[in-house]
Structure 1
Amino acid sequence: MKTSDKILDIIKREGQITARQLAEHLSITTMGARQHLQMLENEGLISFNDIKMKVGRPARHWSLTQLGHNQFIDRHQDLSIDILTSIDEVFGLPGIEQITAQREAKILRRYQQYLSHFHTTEERLRALVQLREQDGYMAELEVTATGYFLTENHCPICFAAKQCPQLCRSELNIFQTLFKDECDIQRQEHIIQGAHRCRYKITLHL
């Protein structure tokens, strides 16, 4: 992967980043990181926001522009939206719900089969993250005092989900079904509602 692609990937995952943080990620100098960031800004892929600090100069935080986010968009998004629109026009809401339910059941079976090889909740959650990574969601798992956070830094079905909100409800249904006997899962951040990621709070059952 090219350095520029790595940087875009890091910013996509982090939401925003400073040159110093980027330098640590890439094991390069801060000056080198700034040069890469400047090149990406010149291409219109990132922009910066200076955040005032309590002491010293403002810290410059870099984030993706819409053009930068577009580098991660599924190339088949237009086709997916066209298909959903056609289903809605021909079959209406019942048709959309039937297609969504069928997709949900198919994904759920695949995930259940894979997770059946793991035993503890954490092992199963980490296995879920692997599946979501494979499916293009740039997923991460964070351990907390009461459970976990599952973060998805990219949504390959985002444009289709804006056209068909049932897809987002389906994603949450899959997670909740997989772990219904182990933990409670709630979505706290949502890409199609303006957040830069989808984030799920996972609370273990007592």
Structure 2
Amino acid sequence: MSQPPLNRVLLLLKTEGPQPTAALAAALGITGEAARQQLGRLAQEGAVESVAEPVVGRGRPRQRWHLTAAGHAHFPDGHAALATSLLSTLVVRLGPVALETVIAAREAETLARYENEMTDAPDLDDRVRRLAAIRTAEGYMADSWREADGSWTLVENHCPICAAASACAGFCRSELETFRAVLGAQVERVDHIPQGARRCAYRITAD
């Protein structure tokens, strides 16, 4: 079953970033007028907003459509409020050492599960693509590709545990270490959602 048009607009803005109306219309295979109508409805709901971006030199600023916080909220958040509350309670009641214990246990479990799913991925290219598929299944809307310089890029367009990660940087640190271990490669985080980026992105190079 195809997605409703409004959901397709949100998904496109989520995965591709801010877009002008014409680009959205072309990607969705609809007219510019139809795209404007859908964007207008989403704007009334508070899910998107049009932002003027300056151009170099002369010319009028370009209008691009962005997801708002309400727009991002259309995507899974991993029960953000509950997760944040539980983390806060854990630290208050048991101290930061207990939180580090939880993070370490989660990292060990995740690493074992990822390694089990990588048993038939013999080289780094296969492992990167497999990791992107695993993360997508977990709600991260991930993608990967090979760069011209031989490195790989892994992106995650959504973070279903963003509230927990924002409350405790240890989760993000743990995920980075898990990626390095399961890929057997150098992994550098170059974009980070909790720091205000649109997505999390990683540069991967062979050891």
Residue of structure 1 equivalent to 2:116: 113
User: Which stretch of the first structure deviates more once superposed, 164-173 or 54-63?
Assistant: 54-63
In the TM superposition, what whole-angstrom CA distance separates every residue of 1:97-129 from its partner, at most 9, and x where no partner exists? 100011111111111111112222111111111
Residue of structure 2 equivalent to 1:127: 130
Residue of structure 1 equivalent to 2:153: 149
Aligned-pair identity in percent equals 37
- Aligned-partner Cα distance in 1 for 2:73–2:165: 16
- Aligned-partner Cα distance in 2 for 1:203–1:17: 30
Residue of structure 1 equivalent to 2:62: 59
Answer yes or no: is 1:138 the counterpart of 2:133: no
State the superposition RMSD in angstroms. Answer: 1.6
Residue of structure 2 equivalent to 1:43: 45
- Aligned-partner Cα distance in 2 for 1:85–1:120: 41
- Aligned-partner Cα distance in 2 for 1:142–1:23: 25
Matches within 5 A, 1:93-112: 93-112=96-115
| Per-residue deviation, 1:45 | 0.6
1:154 is aligned with what amino acid?
A: H
1:110 is aligned with what amino acid?
A: R
- Does the 8 Å contact 2:78/2:161 carry over to 1? no
* Aligned with residue 167 of structure 1, among 171, 186, 206: 171
Residue of structure 2 equivalent to 1:158: 162
1:44 is aligned with what amino acid?
A: G
| Per-residue deviation, 1:96 | 0.3
1:65 is aligned with what amino acid?
A: T
Number of residue pairs matched? 203
2:180 is aligned with what amino acid?
A: Q
* Alpha-carbon spacing, 1:52–1:193, altered in 2? closer, same or farther (3 Å): closer
- Aligned-partner Cα distance in 2 for 1:82–1:203: 37
Answer yes or no: is 1:68 the counterpart of 2:71: yes
Residue of structure 2 equivalent to 1:195: 197
| Per-residue deviation, 1:176 | 0.7
TM-score (norm 1): 0.92
Q: Which runs of 5+ in 2 are unaligned?
A: none
- Aligned-partner Cα distance in 1 for 2:104–2:37: 48
**Partner-residue secondary structure (3-state), 2:95:** helix
Residue of structure 1 equivalent to 2:21: 19
| Per-residue deviation, 1:58 | 3.5
- Aligned-partner Cα distance in 1 for 2:78–2:107: 22
| Per-residue deviation, 1:172 | 0.4
1:78 is aligned with what amino acid?
A: A
| Per-residue deviation, 1:57 | 4.5
TM-score (norm 2): 0.91
1:106 is aligned with what amino acid?
A: E
- Aligned-partner Cα distance in 2 for 1:24–1:116: 40
Q: Which runs of 5+ in 1 are unaligned?
A: none
